[in-house]
Structure 1
Amino acid sequence: MPVIIITIAVVVAIILGILVANVKVVQQSKAYVIEQLGAFHTVWGVGFHVKVPFFQRIAKIVSLKEQVVDFAPQPVITKDNVTMQIDTVLYFQITDPKLYTYGVEHPMSAIENLTATTLRNIIGDLELDQSLTSRDIINSKMRAILDEATDPWGIKVNRVELKNIIPPREIQDAMEKQMKAERERRESILQAEGQKASQILVAEGEKQSTILRADAAKQAAIMRAEGEAEAIMKVQQATAEALKLLNAANPNEQVVKIKALEAFQAAADGKATKIIIPSEIQGLAGLCASAKAVFEDEKKAPPAAK
């Protein structure tokens, strides 16, 4: 009896083990290719699946994510017979797990060989300068050709990038010399532009300084003129005030003549070489001379006896 129980327990354990081993949960972005009795049966997507023991097997587990493969540098010859080394980077995605599993043996090796062949064909139609400056065009052409060629394999080529283009050493040296000359030329241009800008700034400073000095001289002249005008105005106002006071005092004819004589004296003290004396002033001058003589005679006469 114990032997039977042990046998049954072993059989149940084996059956449970087989069932557990054939229960599969497919993860996101994965696909399982299932064969039944050696032939393709189905593709399991994400979720819970049970495989029939001994009749079905998982032929391939395929990743549906975008993948990147970096191929080793390939020697290519340009149209002008220059040999270069070019390595490429390929971005692809598996869109059909069945075709990917049964379409081609060793898909990555096939894609690498196809990429090298395509690259040689495209670069062979271009000269060195074109191949160095036309990366985008080369990338687009390669992507279109590879995508069409790998479609029967269930692969979609999303992008192709030329990672490095390595020309021969002598061409690299020539390019380095050219780049150095270009850098020196740009430095010379920058220095010349800096000197030009400096000279412009100096000229602008001198111009502003000249303008400021001219403005200062102008303001000084204006202030001097305004001061002289104000002085003249004050003199005129004082003269007017004096005349007003004189008129208010109601002077007689003799006072007026004396004032005229004072004005004549002031004119005579000037730099004029000729002076015209009015007749009235001449008479007044004679009167003053006679009066002066009388006063002097009186001073010289002896005093009268008492």
Structure 2
Amino acid sequence: MGGFLFLIPVFIIGFFILLSGIFTVRQQTSAIVERFGKFLSIRSSGLHFKIPVFDRIAGRINLKIQQLDVLVETKTKDDVFVRLKISVQFQVIKEKVYDAFYKLENPHDQITSYVFDVVRAEVPKMKLDDVFERKDDIAIAVKTELNEAMINYGYDIIKTLVTDIDPDVQVKAAMNRINAAEREKVAAEYEAEAERIKIVAKARAEAESKRLQGQGIADQRREIARGLEESVDVLNNVGINSQEASALIVVTQHYDTLQSIGEETNTNLILLPNSPQAGSNMLNDMIASFVASNQIGEQMKKENEAKGIGKTKTKRRPPPNREDDVAY
């Protein structure tokens, strides 16, 4: 009975030792098995066995695509400090798991060193604007350099991306001011052009309005003159002479004007003088002025003609012939 009790712990220990020889490897992962510290085998995904105590799992390698973000600060050709964020996507080559596990102690540090080296060799050759425009060239240069270096260690560089370019704060503020000034300049040019178009259109409209207004006034005066002429002809046909007809027309227009003023309720127009006799006097004064002007003109014409006739042309007598005066 005592011996049976002694075997129970032995069986339990043996069970756990046997159980420790069973292990699993996850998908997209490789396990490195060593025996007494020496490389034994590489196990892929699935259920595996190893000799307990003698064999051990030295490590596991991730076969998925991984990403490493590297922040690099450097100076451009025009002496501007800029920070670049380089994202490196890499993967362990399945056939080179041994190299990836045993040749590199820390692959992330190795990749970071190469990224720093390439970026600080390429960016100082470019101006700040070129860094933004040619960021793909920087990414290609980093990928090429990394591929050549890391392929020997079992790593494949899938893609390199320049995900961020961050200049110095003062430089960024200056660039924003330049951009804002440029946009304000363009906006001012567009506003000036719009204002010019408005002024030209307004001037053309005013010119057309004045032309039509002048044409309307001319047509109006032409019709008024034609109406006055017809009115005088009608009055002459009934025995009223031209002067009386003109006075009658003035009086009639005077009363028409007073009537139109009276129809307006809020008008402040005052017609001075406002009597029919004043209109007739004004007409008489105008006729008298025209008659006097014609008389003065006729008098001046007669005087000029008289002065022209009074002038006589005198012929100069030829000098006497001296030979006729000589006495022999």
Q: 1:180 to 1:41 in 2, by over 3 A?
A: same
Q: SS of the counterpart of 1:89?
A: strand
User: Shift of the alpha carbon at 1:138?
Assistant: 0.8
Contact in 1 for aligned 2:114/2:145 (Cα 8 Å):
no
Q: Which residue matches 2:89?
A: 91
Are the equivalent residues in 1 in contact too, given 2:33–2:42 (CA < 8 A)?
yes
> TM-score by structure 2 length?
0.55
Cross-structure match for 2:120 = 120
User: Once the 2 structures are TM-superposed, how far is the Cα of residue 193 of structure 1 from its aligned partner?
Assistant: 8.9
Q: Which residue of 1 aligns with 2:106?
A: 106
Q: Which 5+ residue runs of structure 1 have no aligned equivalent?
A: 203-306
1:185, distance to aligned residue in structure 2 (A) = 4.5
Q: How many pairs align?
A: 200
Q: Distance in 1 between matches of 2:76 and 2:193?
A: 41
Output the CA distance in 2 between the equivalents of 1:192 and 1:94: 63
Identity in percent: 26
2:132–2:165 Cα contact (<8 Å) kept: yes
- Going from structure 1 to structure 2, the CA distance change for 1:28 and 1:186 (only over 3 Å counts) comes to farther
User: How far off its partner does 1:99 sit?
Assistant: 1.3
SS at match of 1:136: helix
Partner residue in 2 for 1:30: 29
Tell me the residue number matched to 2:16: 17
CA deviations on 1:60-93 (whole Å, 9 max, x unpaired) are 111111111222x322122333322222211111
Per the alignment, residue 178 of structure 1 pairs with 178
In the TM superposition, what is the alpha-carbon distance from 1:9 to its structure 2 partner?
2.0
Partner of 1:78: 76
Taking a change above 3 Å as real, the CA distance of residues 189 and 35 of structure 1, as seen in their structure-2 partners, is farther
Q: What is the distance in 2 between the residues matched to 1:190 and 1:6?
A: 101
Cα-to-partner distance string for 1:156-210 (whole Å, 9 max, x where unaligned): 11111222222223321221112212333554577689889999xx9xxxxxxxx
Any stretches of 5+ residues in structure 2 without a counterpart? 202-328
Aligned to 1:285: none
The amino acid of 1:152's aligned partner reads N
Aligned to 1:60: 59
Q: Distance in 1 between matches of 2:124 and 2:91?
A: 28
| C-alpha distance 165-16 of structure 1, shift in aligned 2 (>3 A) | same
CA RMSD of aligned residues (A): 2.8
Matches within 5 A, 1:253-292: none
In structure 2, the CA distance between the partners of 1:46 and 1:184, relative to structure 1 (3 Å rule), is same
- Structure 1 residues 178 and 23, CA gap change in structure 2 (3 angstroms): same
Q: Which amino acid aligns with 1:53?
A: P
CA contact (8 A) 1:103 1:152 kept: no
Amino acid at match of 1:87: K
Q: Distance in 1 between matches of 2:198 and 2:139?
A: 47
Q: Deviations over 1:30-54 (max 9, x none)?
A: 1101112211111100111011112
TM-score (norm 1): 0.58
